[in-house]
Structure 1
Amino acid sequence: TQIAQLQEENKQLMTNLSHKDINFTEEEFHKHEGMSERERQVMKKLKEVVDKQRDEIRAKDRELGLKNEDVEALQQQQNRLMKINHDLRHRITVVEAQGKALIEQKVELEAYLQTKEQEMGSLRAELGKLREKLQGEDSQNGEEVKVEPNNDDCLSESEKMAMDLKDPNRPRFTLQELRDVLHERNELKSKVFLLQEELLYYKSEETEEETRSPQPTPIIQSKPSTQPESGIKRLIFTAIMPMVAAGLIPDDPTLQPIRRLVSLVGIFFFKMFGTVVSFCMTPC
């Protein structure tokens, strides 16, 4: 009897346990299904967030690449500008050096021009004196000597004021004008040389006339002596005068007629061809 009761109780417990397991599994299943749907929604949201962040990261990477390219381009442009700046500084230094050299050259040219102007003034004064002497001697001897007029001697007062070296407003000269001034100076020197030769020639003629006047000589005897005298002069001029010019033979007063001949030759060449022929008559 007790065994039967125990078996029945056992059966009841088994049935109760089976009912409880069935109820528990259904509830757990429903709970598990609810949790899976939430997780799916959360996973979807997380996936969307991850995809969005991935797209943002890719966009940021692209922007970063573009920024890097811009930075490289700016660095190249900076290097190019630095090179240009260095070249410009070098050019500026070269131009400054050239400017300083030009200023120094300008100062030297102004000083040189001042000295040449002073020399020209002295040459003009000497030329005026020589002309006065020649005119006085021509008036005494009754001879007329034509002297070429020089426009540089006829300076007006305004030009003389402009030639003042202390005047800051005096006119400046270009390189071509300076060359013209030097050419004019050389011409004046050549004219002074010719005038000196003419003056010496006229003085020597006066001395010869004074020495010949107390000793009159017949005209018939002077004619045959002209031909050998020209041959002697030619011989002295071609053979002896180069040795005198070289200093091999000392200068002698007996060569005074040859001096006159040389001066006449120089005057003839100047009047015919416009060139100055100078001969060294003393040891150089």
Structure 2
Amino acid sequence: MEETSDLIDDVTVVDVYDIASDIGKECEKIIDLYGADAVTSLMPKVINALELLENLAVNNERENTELSELKSKISQLENDKIEKAEYRQKFEKELEAIEEQWRAESKELLALVSRLQEENRKLVKVQGSSQEPEVISTIDTGSNGDMLQKLQTSLEKQRDEIRAKEKLLQDKCCDMEKMKSQVDRLTNSGRELRRKHKTLQNQVRTLCDERADFIVQLQDQQRDITALRQRLGLAQKENEDLAKSDVSYPSNKVVYDLDDPNRPRFTTAELKDILHERNELKARVSDLEDELETFRPKNADTKFRFVAKPKMQAPDLVPVLNTPVEEDAPVQGPLPYEPDDAPWKRSSESGIRKFFRKIFSEGSSGSSFPRRSLSTLTKMALSATDEPIPV
């Protein structure tokens, strides 16, 4: 189980595409041997499983990145904690050494003071019985002065040592602050680098998707060019056949196709007669309209007028309701044609589907299997449903 979990943690998007490539090659072999029907029901499930694996790999990479960031923060905090503990322990040891030194010096001074007091008492006792008090007092004063001088010298030395220790402690504190600022700066730079790395990964994934789209468009254009070349070859062949035919037509004759609905059907004289008859009919219709207006009642709810129908038919009476005509009538007619490559018509496909489209398009150009089977498999693979896979 541990080995399986380690393998799952190491799966990336590149590994998923490698697996998809291997599966596509195996499917091509199965198609070449048994036909496209052998994998018709299997391909949608395989594609859905690969898409699910791709999403899991993306989530895995993101979680691994967050986990590495948290581990680095934990290690940094542990190092800071260890450094602070060491610095505190060292500081406590130095304080203990200074305190011991002070205790030893204080003991020496107390012993010296007690000894001097004892000597003073002895001297006081001797002073009463001694005949030379001045000499003894002079000797005692000289020895006391030397002792005090030594004590002052030792005190100055200890003060200098304390100042040096305090200065060293301040330097250590400054170094610690500098190290902390440097660690913060390195942490910020590491976070910025991880953000840039994530952005570059997203750009690479986007470029891969765009590359797959461009490859599909290029293959479609190549197929269109091939079809146009075939049509051009047929047109050139028909042109050559027409040029080779020996049928000759006189220069002063015009040939019409009997199946052409727009061919001429009347002579000039017939057209003149038809136009003359049309003008007479228009004049007659105008006279009849005037006569009808004369005999029409004024308060009629409906109006009748003559509407001349095309193709020289007799005028008919058409009832027209007395309704106001709209000035801005709605626009009617066919809508403009929308191109097939419009952005709103593009279906959002995953990278796995585009990858399989590319694999089967490349395989169809070099395989000996019939083209119809490969195109059927490609459509079947790309029209896979988004139903969840039972686990």
Shorter-chain TM-score range: 0.3 to 0.5
- Larger RCO, structures 1/2 (Cα 8 Å, 6+ apart): 2
Greater share of helix: 1
TM-score for both structures, normalised by structure 1 = 0.42
Rg larger for: 1
